[in-house]
Amino acid sequence: MIGVIDYGAGNLCSVRNALDALGVRSATVDTKSGIEAADALILPGVGEFGSAMKELSARGLCAVLKSAAEAGVPLLGICLGMQMLFEESEESPGVRGLALLPGRSARFSDKYGLKIPHMGWNSITPLKESRLLKGISAGSYMYFVHSYYVRCGRREDAAAGASYGDDFDAAAERGTVFGCQFHPEKSGSEGFLILKNFIEIAEGKR
């Protein structure tokens, strides 16, 4: 069972609908026991970094999430959920992320004259051999909605890059911790392939 984490700021329905379409059993989880019962976890997210981390903490989910990830339970962060896997965000100074991966989020620069948030389809470029992005070619288009983006603290953690004025890390991967700044559940057949790859990782096939 894949647990889709509910902390009051997640895009739960579209993620679960995508998993249903792939024939995968999932459940919305918002307790320690629910997280511990899952074979893999998805941390979706929309909204503001500080508020999301505050709510995750208020529900007592930070420690159990970190313990699960450190024990090797596959964890996929999507959009804000990816940013929360890292240490901090320029959006909410002084607020600590889950710190499962080193790095931080920064806001897109206004100097390029581009509309912020970055919203719509943009191409990505895989940066390394990746279990999550297996079968995804350079130039594949994914759907983004975000004003802040991750800068991985270790370049080897960056699984894919993209550009919107600023170059940024569009996906991250280390061990069984994965992140997508884009929304795979809204990115057509290639996004569904990424979700399928994650499911196969959870099933021990990758």
**How far is 79 from 189, CA to CA, in rounded Å?**
18
User: Is 13 one of the annotated active-site residues of the chain?
Assistant: no
- Rg of the chain over Cα atoms, rounded to whole angstroms, equals 15
Here the tokens at position 124 are 């990505």
Amino acid, single-letter form, for residue 74: P
CB atoms within 10 A of CB 8: 14
Residue whose entry in the numeric block shows the structure tokens 């994650």: 198
Catalytic residue from among 88, 173, 180, 183: 183
User: Is 79 one of the annotated active-site residues of the chain?
Assistant: yes
User: Is 70 one of the annotated active-site residues of the chain?
Assistant: no
Residues in the chain: 206
Catalytic residue from among 79, 118, 146, 180: 79
Here the tokens at position 177 are 């911790």
**How far is 1 from 109, CA to CA, in rounded Å?**
40
What is the set of active-site residues? 79, 183, 185
